[in-house]
Amino acid sequence: MGQDTRNRPERSQETEPSPTPDRERCALRVAVRTDQGRLRLRNEDAVLVDHERCVFAVADGMGGHPAGDVASRVAVEHLPALIASALGSPLDAVGATLPKAAPGDVDAALERALVELNDVILAEAAQDPDHVGMGTTVVLALFTGLTAHVAHVGDSRAYLFRPGELHQLTEDDSLANALIRGGVAPDDARHHPYAERLTQAVGTAGGIQPTVRGFELSAGDRLLLCSDGLTRMLVDARIGMILATEPDPEAASQALVDAANHAGGEDNISVVLIDVRDS
C-alpha cells in the first residue's frame, strides 16, 4: 500500500519547528472518507478533521428532514469554535492547553458545546422556511494526550478497535435503546416498527442531552467514527474484520466504504478512522 498525498499535512505537522510537548503526545494518523452511497441523491453527511486541535467528528443530516445537508455542514463548521469557547481556550491553543484541564472539565465543555450547537442549528433553521426542522447527529472525539473524549447525539457511532476486538463506545439515541432502558426485552424493542427512530438529534427544539465519556487509548488502538450508512450495511464483525486486515488507515477507511456500498450503499457513508501510534 503506497503513501498518498493525503498524508502530507500530517508529516508537515510532525516537523513543526517547536511543537509543544502536549502536541507530540497526540500521535494520531487519521483517514477520512465520506461517500454518497448508491441510492441517495446527495450526501447529507459532513466530517470534521482538525489535526491542529485534535478534534474529529461525523455529522449525519437527518434523512427525510428538510435541509439535512445544511444541518450537518453547520455542525462541523461551528464545532471547533464552540468547543474552544466552552473550554475557555483560545482557538489556536486548544490542542496545547487541553491536557492541563481535568478530564471532567473537558467532558463538561463538550456537553456545553453540543448544547450550544443545538441552539445554533435552531437559530439557523429559524432564518429560512426551507430549513425549519432540520437536524443532524454528531459524534465527535477530542484528544487530550491519549485520552479520547467521545461525545454524541443521535445514532452516528464511535467504535474502539483494539487488536482482535471491536467495541462500540456509544449507545444510539434510538427508540429501541430507550425501550430497552425502560425494561422492554431487547428482542421486542429491536422489532418495534419505529425501533431505529432517533430520540434526539442536534436541532431539537426541546433541548438535548449529549452523552460524553473519556477513554484511555494506547498505541495500536483505532478509533472509528461513522454514520449509520456504514453500520446499517455492515455488521460489527465485518467492520472488525476489515480493521483487522487493513493496517493502513487510508486503505481501511476506503475498504469500509467499499464494503458498505457493496452491501447496498443504501445511505451516505462516512468514516473517520484515527490510528493511535507510538509517538
The residues that touch Ca ion, with contacts defined as CB under 5 A, are 60, 227-229, 267
- Least Å from the CB of residue 237 to Ca ion: 21
Nearer to Ca ion, 248 or 267 (CB): 267
From the CB of 228, what's the least distance to Ca ion, in Å? 5
Min CB(102)–Ca ion separation in Å: 35
Residue closer to Ca ion by CB (options 119, 258) is 258
Give the residue with the Cβ less far from Ca ion, 99 or 229: 229
Expressed in percent and rounded to 5, the helix, strand and coil fractions of the chain are 40, 25, 35
- The residue with cell 470534521 is 48
Mention every residue, 6+ apart, whose C-beta is less than 8 A from residue 91. 53, 80, 81, 84
Q: Whose Cβ is closer to Ca ion: residue 37's or residue 95's?
A: 37
From the CB of 35, what's the least distance to Ca ion, in Å? 12
At closest approach, how far in Å is the CB of 15 from Ca ion? 38
* 67 phi, psi to nearest 5 deg: 55, 40
Strand partners, 215: 148
Residue closer to Ca ion by CB (options 267, 275) is 267
**Pick 60 or 248: Cβ nearer Ca ion:** 60
Phi, psi values for residue 14, rounded to 5°? -65, -25
* Choice between 228 and 275, CB closer to Ca ion: 228
And the C-alpha cell for 136? 443532524
Nearer to Ca ion, 113 or 139 (CB): 139
- Candidates 25, 44, 28; CA nearest to 36 is 44
Question: Residue written as cell 441517495?
Answer: 40
CA distances from 203 to 60, 62, 74, 236 (A): 12, 10, 11, 29
Q: Are 211 and 170 in contact (CB under 8 A)?
A: yes
CB of 61 to Ca ion, least distance (A): 8
**Cβ neighbourhood burial of 64 (10 Å; 0-12, 13-18, 19+):** exposed
- Cα 148 to Cα 36, 55, 59, 159, 160, distances in angstroms: 28, 10, 18, 11, 10
Tell the smallest beta-carbon distance from residue 25 to Ca ion (Å).
34
Q: Counting beta carbons within 10 angstroms of the beta carbon of residue 33, is it exposed (0 to 12), middle (13 to 18) or buried (19 or more)?
A: buried
Q: How far is the CB of 16 from Ca ion (least distance, A)?
A: 36
